[in-house]
Amino acid sequence: MDFLRVIIGLLPQSLGGRIAYGAAGALGVGYILSYPYNYIHYHRVEKYQLSVCWEHYLAYFQATEEHYKHSPREINRRLMLYNECIQSARSGGKTYPPAL
């Protein structure tokens, strides 16, 4: 019980501080409770939709790693292609693996 008294003693005494800590705690609990849904949704749906964009991500990653070979405009162009592919996959536009 002394442990609880120490924790309560560390909490702010003002009403605004208590409201802020309560809001932060509620957000944390909401995040923890939503984790199973996000995990299931990612592994059932999104992982397969986003796998179509692997080539775009790889091209962007290689351009950032070898930045001395590519201009900033080329790196930005590859990032834009990757972002467009992700948006298309998330909206259902691309749900099949690309032809390799």
Per-residue confidence at 74, pLDDT binned at 50, 70, 90? very high
68 part of a folded domain: yes
For 24-67, what is each residue's pLDDT tens digit?
Answer: 889 988 888 888 877 777 777 667 666 778 888 889 999 999 87
Integer CA distances (angstroms), 40 to 29, 34, 43, 67, in order: 18, 10, 5, 36
Alpha-carbon distance of 9 to 65, in angstroms, equals 50
Q: What is the pLDDT of residue 81?
A: 92
5 is a domain residue:
no
Domain count, the chain: 1
In-domain check, residue 82: yes
Residue span of the structural domain in which 46 resides: 17-90
Q: For residue 69, is it within any domain?
A: yes
Q: What is the pLDDT of residues 1-27, one digit of tens each?
A: 688 888 778 778 888 888 888 888 899
